[in-house]
Structure 1
Amino acid sequence: MNASKDDDPRRSFPVSWEELHRTGRALAWRLLDVGPFEGIIGITRGGLVPAAIVARELELRMIDTIGVSSYAGYDGPRGELKVVKPPSLTQDGAGWLIVDDLVDTGETAKVVRAMLPKAHFATIYAKPAGRPLVDTFVTEVSQDTWIYFPWDLEPRPVDPIIGLRPPI
């Protein structure tokens, strides 16, 4: 079988809505002593749900977004990063919290950091290549792990784990 790493169940990390909510709350706990924050900036699209969870837990009412696009399509190749929607409530991020679901290669984080250098950057998940670019995160996963967020999934039957082990 010639499966890509994205199709390899041994390297996939499916996240349920319940797990995302628990981990989003854990992120908020870690941020309690870092704030207070004037507001929160969610990186669209993946950071919107985590930003909503953190905003609720920290009672933040000022919410903004930044949109950065790097994909040609869902399965398309990565292209040049483009800011498709800049934040509108701050110029440099001072006093603001940036939230994303994941820092992977760090390319998006570099663009956002350059625009908002004084903001505190937090993610739920961090991979080694991007981890140095965020200030706070909850869970580190290996670089070759593909995280499937709840909005990427639908319920379906799966094979038992024993079937994933390579033959001896």
Structure 2
Amino acid sequence: MPRPRPTPARDILEVDWPFFGELCRALALKVARAYQPEVVLGIAKAGVIPAAIVATILQCDYASITIARATQDAEPELLIGPPPSIRGKRVLLVDETCDSGDTMKLALHAVRASRPAEVRTAVSFSTGRWATDFHAFATTKAIVLPWDREVVDEGELVMRPDLRSYLEG
């Protein structure tokens, strides 16, 4: 599901790959200093990217769950739940951003139903009112992540049409 489009009243933070990599390293360090997860669980789609990087840095197992929204305004829906292998383990649940917390709350409910020993939450960007246990960067700006900026159109990478006016304006 596409991330909500920026509004003219909200500043934009364009994130490139090097900055995102640094955020993932910073997030892994914050986690390592306070928690020792056995499994890092990414929330697909976009949460799997920081989750895989953090899991690699922390030398942990990695898995994912899938949560999506039919439309931007719809409630999130669990499509693929956590693997049974998280039972009795320390889990770090990771997404790319957290604003309302709706996706994270649904993911937490699904993870807790699998009976891990402990679960904590982390995001690359904390953008709203719902707080996770760990975050790399807090901002009130609308975020455009490197994988959201461009799409393939007729065999070529082009700027996403719905973002063009915001990013080029």
With structure 1 as the length reference, what TM-score do the two structures score?
0.77
Q: Provide Cα deviations, 1:132-158, integer angstroms capped at 9, x if missing partner.
A: xx111121111xx221110011487x9
Gaps of 5+ in 1: none
CA contact (8 A) 1:47 1:99 kept: yes
| Mapping for residues 1-168 of structure 1, pairs under 5 Å | 6=6, 8=8, 11-60=11-60, 62-72=61-71, 77-88=72-83, 89-91=85-87, 94-117=89-112, 118-131=118-131, 134-142=132-140, 145-154=141-150
Q: CA deviation at 1:24?
A: 0.4
Distance 1:84 1:5, change over 3 A: closer
CA contact (8 A) 2:82 2:110 kept: no
CA distance in 2, matches of 1:111, 1:91: 18
CA distance in 1, matches of 2:34, 2:73: 33
Q: What's the % identity of the aligned pairs?
A: 24
Distance 1:57 1:5, change over 3 A: closer
Greater per-residue helix proportion: 2
Runs of 4+ in 1 over 4 A off after TM superposition: none
Aligned residues: 148
Gaps of 5+ in 2: 113-117, 151-157
What SS does the aligned partner of 1:33 have?
helix
Bigger CA radius of gyration: 1
- RMSD (Å), alpha carbons: 2.7
